[in-house]
Structure formats: C-alpha cells, structure tokens
Chains A and B, each alone.
Chain A
Amino acid sequence: AQTVTQSQPEMSVQEAETVTLSCTYDTSESDYYLFWYKQPPSRQMILVIRQEAYKQQNATENRFSVNFQKAAKSFSLKISDSQLGDAAMYFCAYSSQGGSEKLVFGKGTKLTVNP
C-alpha cells in the first residue's frame, strides 16, 4: 500500500521569505499523481499544485513550486514570497494513475506566517 510521510508537523516563516515543506512517499507504481493541498482554518481544503509522475519538469503555480525527485520518492513544496494568507495546514497526497482517484494523505504540516 502507498504511504505518504510529512516529517514536519509545524513550520514557520517570515512574511516575504521562502519556506520548503517536505514530503516523501512509498509506492511500487511507476505512474501516479502527487498533490499539495492547503486547508486554511475552518475553510475548505483546496488544491495548491499537482505533479504527474511521468513528467520530469517540476510543476509551478505562481509562488508555489515543487521539487519532484522520483527516484528518491520525494515531493517538496516551496512557497516563495510568503504571505499571511498562506498560513494553513498543508497536506501532501498521492493518487494512482488510472485508478479510482482515492487520495492517500500525509499527516500534514501546519505553516505559520509571521508578519
């Protein structure tokens, strides 16, 4: 079974600085998707960024980018120019390609942004 590990329960960053959240996963599949989801306090969880395993290029969405290392099974999220609105729980998630799209989530990293 696939597992997702987030080794940082909490992280903090100064406003306008850069922070990197770590995620590792375990799978025997070669084709899959990886995601970072953001869950603000008492608000809906939303997708931040998605990476297809068959693509070598790292995904980027504005201030958010990933460092996808397939061989190392590592998928970190970098947030540049951090903003107060970035404060949230961030979950790394895995999904099999062509499957049921059931996501396997990590335990999450709570990000605090200090003004």
Chain B
Amino acid sequence: EADIYQTPRYLVIGTGKKITLECSQTMGHDKMYWYQQDPGMELHLIHYSYGVNSTEKGDLSSESTVSRIRTEHFPLTLESARPSHTSQYLCASSELGRGRGSNTGELFFGEGSRLTVL
C-alpha cells in the first residue's frame, strides 16, 4: 500500500468550528493534491502543490486553505466549517516528472477524511 496517511479518517463537528485535515507522505514526492469527493460522485481537485512553499487552487472553488512548509506534509484547513463543507477529502501525491514518458501521472492516495458538519 502507498505511504500516504490522512487524519482524522472521520470527523463530525459543529458549524463555525475550525478544522485541519492532516496529510503526510513518506515517499519524498514533490507534488501533493487535495480532492473533494461527494458520495457517488467524481473527484474534484481543490488544491495542489508542486513543492515546499508552492500552493495553487484547483478546478473546484473551495473555502479551505492549504500550506506546504515541509515536503512530506500538506494540511488542509477550514477556518469556519459549514454544513456545505460536508464531504470526503482525499489527499494524494505524485513524483515530479520531466520529459515525455516520465510524467506517469500516477497518483498515490490516502484513505480519505470524511467530514460531517452539523
């Protein structure tokens, strides 16, 4: 199995609370990603990072923020959670490829963090 870990796996909190979803990988990958996945739906990219001090917003607008202070760590924070934030959040990482054929595109995923905001 891939060496990428997410905590907590499940979280139920009240509206207005600040939460941080943790993601760590031990593979030394430069690229890391956060996807949001509603039940029975596709994954939508909300944040990504190409390395330390690099963060970009993804295709789906999100009120969450991320940071990348260390290569292995890519936490996601919601300053004030709302019921609309209820979803599963998947963290992933990949190697930084260069040149044709080296960009394999393979992502390694964590087990996900299922967030419920009441």
Q: Do most interface residues of chain A lie in helix, strand or loop, or is the interface mixed?
A: loop
Question: A86 → chain B, closest Cβ, in Å?
Answer: 17
Number of interface residues of A (CB under 8 A): 30
Q: Which of A14-22, A68-76, A77-85, A98-106 contacts B (4 or more CB under 8 A)?
A: A98-106
* In the complex, chain B residues whose CB is within 8 Å of the CB of A110: 40
- The answer to whether B103 touches A101 (Cβ under 8 A) is yes
- The answer to whether A44 touches B110 (Cβ under 8 A) is yes
Residue with the highest number of chain A CB atoms closer than 10 Å, among B40, B43, B100: B43
Given A46-B2, A100-B48, A102-B58, does the pair A91, B107 have CB atoms closer than 8 Å? no
- How many contacting A-B pairs (Cβ < 8 A)? 71
Given A44-B109, A45-B90, does the pair A102, B103 have CB atoms closer than 8 Å? no
- The answer to whether A103 touches B45 (Cβ under 8 A) is yes
Tell me which of A31, A52, A97, A101 contacts B94 (CB under 8 A).
A101
* In the complex, chain B residues whose CB is within 8 Å of the CB of A104: 59
Tell me which of B59, B90, B109 contacts A102 (CB under 8 A).
B59
Question: A48 → chain B, closest Cβ, in Å?
Answer: 11
Instruction: Give the interface residue-count category, chain B.
Output: 20 to 34
- B 67-115 contacts with A by CB, 8 A: 90, 92, 94, 97, 99-101, 103-107, 109-112
- The answer to whether B111 touches A105 (Cβ under 8 A) is no
- The answer to whether B111 touches A97 (Cβ under 8 A) is no
Give Cα A46 to B110, complex, Å.
9
- The answer to whether B31 touches A46 (Cβ under 8 A) is no
- B 7-63 contacts with A by CB, 8 A: 31, 33, 40-45, 48, 50, 58-59
Closest to A97 in B: B103
- The answer to whether A44 touches B2 (Cβ under 8 A) is yes
List 4 other contacts, CB 8 Å, given A50-B104, A98-B103.
Answer: A37-B107, A44-B4, A45-B109, A101-B103
Interface residues of B (CB under 8 A from A): 1-2, 4, 31, 33, 40-45, 48, 50, 58-59, 90, 92, 94, 97, 99-101, 103-107, 109-112
Q: Could you list 20 A-B pairs, sorted by A, with CB under 8 Å?
A: A9-B40, A31-B100, A35-B105, A35-B106, A42-B111, A44-B1, A44-B109, A45-B109, A50-B104, A52-B101, A91-B43, A95-B105, A97-B103, A101-B103, A102-B33, A102-B45, A105-B42, A105-B44, A107-B41, A108-B41
